[in-house]
Structures are given as C-alpha cells and as structure tokens.
Amino acid sequence: MLDPWGAFVDRGHAPFVASSDGCLRGLRLAVKDNIAVAGLKWTAGLPLFAERVAEHDATCVAALRAAGAEIVGTVATDSAGFGMMTPGVINPLAADRTVGGSSGGSGAAVAAGLADIALGTDTAGSVRVPAACCGIYGLKPTFGRISVDGVTPLSTTFDHVGILAADLDPLERATRVLLGRKELRGSVIRRVGFDAARLGNSDRAIGSAVERALAWLAARGYNLVELTLPDRIQLAEIHGLIVCGEAREAWCGYWPHEAGRFSDTARRSLAYADTITPQAIAAARRALHDARASIERAFAQADVIVGPTVAVVPPPAGARRVNLSGSNVPVVLALLAETCPFNVSGHPALAVPLATRAVGIPVSVQIAAHRDREADALALARVLAGMDGPA
C-alpha cells in the first residue's frame, strides 16, 4: 500500500500466525520507531541509529503480536521523542497542518487507513496530541501499566506506552491485551469534573466544542463539577526541566561526543539539558510533588475530568510559535499544555474526536480517569460518540 504521507520508516514484515482465537486477528498494527520490532529498523528518529535493526520485540509489541495483530511496519517519530510536530510526516486530514508528535507517524498511519491500531509513546502527550491532530482516538494508560521494556527511553518519570486507533472497538481490544486483562472493569461514573478557566483560555472553537460535550453529558444525568487544575504553563515548564534532565542521563553514552549524529531538535534539547543545574532539578521535583497533590485533590471531587486535548487548533506544519490565551508561545508548549498534567500525575487519559471540526479536523476532547480506570475513560468516550454522530 502506498504511503504518500511519509508515515512509515520500515515495512514488509511478515505477520505472526496466532491461534484462531487471537482477539486482535485481522488488525493491522503500526509501531512507533522508538519501540523495538524484531527484524525492523529501530532508529528512534535519529541519524545515530539510522542502520539499527531490532533483534527482539518490545514487550508491548510481543503481546499484540501474540494476540494476532499483523505488524505492517514501524512509523516515524520526532528525533528521540524531542518535539511535537514529527517533521516530514503529512497530516492525512489537512496537509497544511501539523500531524502532531512525537508519535506523528502512528497518528498518520491510522488516520490514513494504513493501520487499524498503532503503538506510540507518551511522555508529555505524544500519543494524545497526534490523535487530536489526526482526528482519531489516543489512550495513555496509567503510568507503569504497560511495560517500557524495548522502548528507547526519554524520561523514566513520565514515559508511557500508549495506543492509537480510529475506532473505539479495536482500541479497547488492544488495551485489554496490553493491560493483561480479558475485561476492563470500570466504575459508576456520576461526577464529571472540568476546569472552566482552561476552557476559557483555549481557542474559541476548542472551548466551545468541549462546552457542548459537557452539556451533552449533563443532559444525560451526569453531574458537572467545576474544579481547578494546576497552572498549565508552569506545570509544563516543571515537566520540561525534569524530562531534559533525565534525557541527558539516558543519552550520556552518546552525548556530546556523538553530537553530529543527533538531529537539530535533539541537539538543541540536550544542549539545553547541559545548562540545567542539580538545584533546578531539585526545585522542579518539589514543585512536581505539589502539582501531583493538586491533581489528586481534583480527582477527589470527580470520577473523570474532561477538557481539551489540545488548547489550540492544529497549527500549520512547520509553525514555531502560536497564540495561546493572548500570548505568543512556542508551538510545543501550546500542544502539550493540556496533556502533560496527566503525565505528571500518572492518571490514564484518552483523546476523543468529536464531530465538530476546526480547520477540517475533528475537535478532540480529553477524558482523564482515576488510576487503573482506563475503562471509565473508554465508557465515557462511547457516550460522547453519540453526540453528533461519527467524527
């Protein structure tokens, strides 16, 4: 199958022949290029690893393969996971708009119909942001629920493996496999939390769509609870300090003596990491502890928390800065501002496409749930799926 969107890095892998009851039989799986797939390139988007081929499957890949998924190839990522735009990959829904990142190849492959499900990684929103930019579903599970064995690390504090799909059924089936459960047990959802300030500080098209989703839920008997989440810009800055500090440790075997074999984005990020002092990291970790406590207090008031997945409409491909709440900010900050709080807290979060469109792309709403309650996010997504018909 042709790939005019530039999603794939390596293709042509023979399918695994599973038992006849494999619950993922018939589903085509694309895998982000920082996750090992035996026999396929495993470059993590870096010139440094341009010729690296994985010898073994990552644990998450092996689980999906054993359940019958047919691996169709590895797909592009921002270099080493640094970035949110996946340069070189075209958005199948709007070619002039970013595909998101760093799991942009995963998002494009699913949105283009080249894969039914895709694996990605999510350190600050890198599954949910491309899902939002490509008009599909993207789930980041509870921290630690899916093994990162065989995944190129970025930040041990925040790295998650996640999954993207165009429809809820294959997403849920794959999630059951990855979480090691035949059934996903949820709870009774009564209280839907939201932060009104975040809606007001998002692009109008985004905020209005989320408000309509909340009204739809209220009309169906859910109790809306207004709550307060930590300041998204301050939290993103704290998160970024820790990520860069941990990335420096992850790449110390290659940086800086192999700097010429890193991409420009990775070089800039690691050079910045070299300027971060131990005192700054310690202060960021103290602030991280406070932010986690604040998010826990919010969850004490609600069964799920609903808000935008991305606060801005998908920016033009190649954009460096965008307007967010009246301020001109780096595009990366604008894209991850709503997703990174749940990497900080470790709660599961799901990007859900709505039928309402902005720049030709379905607006995405994010549903975050209590730890180990991925089923609650999926259940509420099914309720929202009936709001306007298919996205």
Query: Is residue 333 within 8 Å of 311, Cβ to Cβ?
Result: no
Q: Is residue 123 part of a domain?
A: yes
Residue 16's pLDDT is 52
At residue 41 the predicted structure's pLDDT band, cuts being 50, 70 and 90, is: very high
Whether the CB-CB separation of 170 and 117 falls below 8 Å is answered with: yes
Is 208 assigned a catalytic role? Answer: no
Q: Which of 150, 179, 208 is the last residue of a domain?
A: 179
Do 165 and 223 share a domain, yes or no? no
The residue from 157, 179, 201 where one domain ends is 179
Does residue 86 have a pLDDT over 70? Answer: yes
Which of 154, 179, 204 lies at the terminal end of a domain, its last residue? 179
185 vs 273, higher pLDDT: 273
Query: Are 356 and 304 in the same domain?
Result: yes
Helices (H) and strands (E) in the chain, counts: 12, 13
Told to judge if 32 belongs to the known catalytic residues of this protein, a careful annotator would answer yes
Q: pLDDT value at position 387?
A: 84
Distance (Å, whole) CA 32 – CA 54: 13
The answer to whether 122 touches 157, Cβ cutoff 8 Å, is: no
In terms of domains, do 163 and 199 share one?
A: no
pLDDT at 290 over 90: yes
Q: Which comes out higher in pLDDT, residue 324 or 137?
A: 137
Q: Are residues 125 and 162 in the same domain?
A: yes
62 inside domain: yes
Examine the residue annotation and report whether 102 is marked as an active-site residue of this protein: yes
Same domain, 101 and 211: no
For residue 326, the model assigns a pLDDT of 87
Q: Is 375 helix (H, G, I), strand (E, B) or coil?
A: helix
Q: What is the dihedral of CA 370, 65, 100, 129, to 10 degrees?
A: -10
Q: What is the mean pLDDT of residues 35-61?
A: 97
The model's confidence at residue 21, banded by pLDDT at 50, 70 and 90, is low
Please give the mean pLDDT across all residues of the chain: 94
Q: What is the pLDDT of residue 181?
A: 78
Please give the pLDDT value at position 314: 97
| Distance, C-alpha 250 to centroid of its chain | 21
Give the span between the Cα atoms of 371 and 342, in whole angstroms.
10
pLDDT at res. 288 = 96
In a domain, 244, yes or no: no
121 and 209 in a single domain? The answer is no
- Catalytic, out of 41, 79, 102, 202: 102
In terms of domains, do 71 and 202 share one?
Answer: no
Q: Is residue 29 part of a domain?
A: yes
pLDDT tens sequence across 307-333: 999 999 999 999 999 998 889 999 999
Q: What is the pLDDT of residue 391?
A: 62
Is residue 240 domain-resident? Answer: no
User: What are the Cα distances from residue 226, in Å, to 76, 196, 269, 304?
Assistant: 39, 7, 37, 12
118 and 208 in a single domain? The answer is no
pTM: 0.96
Q: Are 173 and 196 part of one and the same domain?
A: no
Total domains, the chain = 2
What gap in Å lies between CA 308 and CA 325, rounded to an integer? 14
Mean pLDDT of 133-153: 98
Asked if residue 265 is part of any domain, the answer here is no
Per the residue annotation, which of 126, 155, 263, 364 is the catalytic one?
126
Question: Average pLDDT for residues 332-338, to the nearest whole number?
Answer: 96
Q: What is the mean pLDDT of residues 207-211?
A: 96
State mean pLDDT over 104-126: 98
Mean pLDDT of 125-147: 98
Question: Over the stretch 217-251, which tens digit does the pLDDT of each residue have?
Answer: 999 999 999 999 999 999 999 999 999 999 999 99
The confidence band for 184, taking pLDDT boundaries of 50, 70 and 90, is confident
Are residues 201 and 158 part of one domain? no
Mean pLDDT of 120-132: 98
| pLDDT value of residue 325 | 84
* pLDDT at residue 12 greater than cutoff 60: yes
pLDDT bucket at 22, cuts 50 / 70 / 90: confident
Residue 387 Ramachandran class (φ > 0 left, ψ -120 to 50 alpha, else beta): alpha
Residue 257 within a domain: no
251 occurs within a structural domain = no
β-pairing, 321-324 vs 327-330, is antiparallel
Q: Domain check: are 111 and 213 in the same one?
A: no
Looking at 32, 41, 103, 269, which residue is catalytic? 32
Does 28 have pLDDT greater than 70?
yes
Range of the domain at 357: 191-235+278-385
Instruction: Name the percent of the chain lying above pLDDT 90.
Output: 91
Helix (H) or strand (E) holding 237: helix 232-250
Angle between helices 374-385 and 204-219 (to 10 degrees): 90
Averaged pLDDT, 342-354:
98
**CATH number, domain containing residue 41:** 3.90.1300.10
231 and 133, same domain (yes or no): no
Residue 368 confidence (pLDDT) above 70: yes
